[in-house]
Amino acid sequence: MTPLVLVAEPDPSHRRILEDAFKSAGHRVVSVDSGQAVLDRVAREKPDLILMARDLPFGDGIEVLRLLRADAHYADVGILIATDRDDLDGAAPAIAAGADDCVTRPYRVVEVQQRVRNALRLRAAENAIAYAMSDAERTDLASGLGTRAHLDICLDYEIARAQRNGCALSCVVVRVVNYKQCLRDFETEDAHTLISELALGLSHSLRQVDQIFRHADDEFVLVLPETDETAVRIVIERMRESVHGEAFWKDAPPMLPRIAIGASTLPALATALNRDLVAEAVMQVEHDPILRDG
């Protein structure tokens, strides 16, 4: 079916430019002029992609973006935010809130068409792979997190977005150093409960846009968009402190998991392949004093 694009733009002339651009590209188009109108429209018919101005009346674009990203029903909808060319800080909060990309006004038709085409292609590829996987492939039963297969999809998407927007992307690997000992010293069910609590606690250290996956029996991988080397060091220290705090565990067992942590960051890392991003973070785990001293 022809993709449906929802244009949310308060300026009538800009709205007409976008309508003509998307129709000429072969898309179906509907347009609205306010944030509330976006929510009303998507409730009637879910679009494939939304191009939404940041300065919408009655619910600005970032606010509406957060509301849509908080609803799982709209997780597969591509969303682009439009900012004025002189708004130098406009893109960062949009990407952090979950936008697939940003465009600038005054609109350049060819650029807008290309960015929409890229966003639709990325979303379609991600959704096709996700739907093809079974629930067991998408979710690790012990931790309730995404699996290694789901991680690959996420990283492909986030790396492409980071390169497109020229922003940082960090990958953190958390390894349970004494995992085998936990399995030996606890009943299997208790060991799985311990891992689930660790996964839940790590998740609470993250922002809404971050994601966490079970990479191996003894490893978690965290994907942190818009996070540079300085910021990821702060995240790591926060994790270390929280894991060793009493509030982290509901019923602390006699022996807690000991964790080693490594991280890698784009664009600091020269390559842009997801396996290399994870491999670099795994390599950093090997240099963690907790692992070396263990």
* CATH class for the region spanning 4-132: alpha beta
- Residue 280's region, left for phi above 0, alpha for psi from -120 to 50, else beta, is alpha
Contact call for residues 266 and 159 (beta carbons, < 8 A) = yes
Is the distance from CB of 236 to CB of 263 less than 8 angstroms? yes
pLDDT at 20: 93
Q: Residue 115 in 3-state DSSP? A: helix
> Is the per-residue pLDDT at 270 higher than 50?
no
Q: State how far the Cα of 116 lies from the Cα of 152, in Å rounded to an integer.
A: 23
pLDDT band, very low/low/confident/very high, at 184 (cuts 50, 70, 90)? confident
> Does the 135-293 domain belong in CATH 1.10.640.10?
no
150 vs 98, residue with greater confidence:
98
Question: φ and ψ at 126, to 5 degrees?
Answer: -65, -45
Domain parsing of the chain, residue ranges: 4-132, 135-293
Structure confidence at residue 243 as a pLDDT band (50, 70, 90)? confident
Domains 4-132 and 135-293 share a fold: no
Res. 100: pLDDT tops 50:
yes
Q: What is the pTM of this model?
A: 0.55
DSSP 160-185: HHHHHHT--EEEEEEEETTHHHHHHH
Span 57-88, pLDDT tens digits? 988 899 999 999 888 888 889 999 998 887 76
pLDDT higher than threshold 80 for residue 169: yes
More confident residue, 169 or 86: 169
Strand partners, 126: none
What percent of the chain is modeled with pLDDT above 90?
29
- Cα–Cα distance for residue pair 193/143, rounded to 1 Å: 8
The mean predicted confidence, pLDDT, of the chain is 81
Of the candidates 122, 236, 111, 227, the one whose C-alpha atom is nearest the C-alpha of residue 173 is 236
- Residues 113 and 24: their CA atoms lie apart, in Å, by 9
- The neighbouring-strand residues paired with 216 are 219
Q: Which residues of 107-116 are buried (b: 16+ CB within 10 A; e: fewer)?
A: beeeebbebb
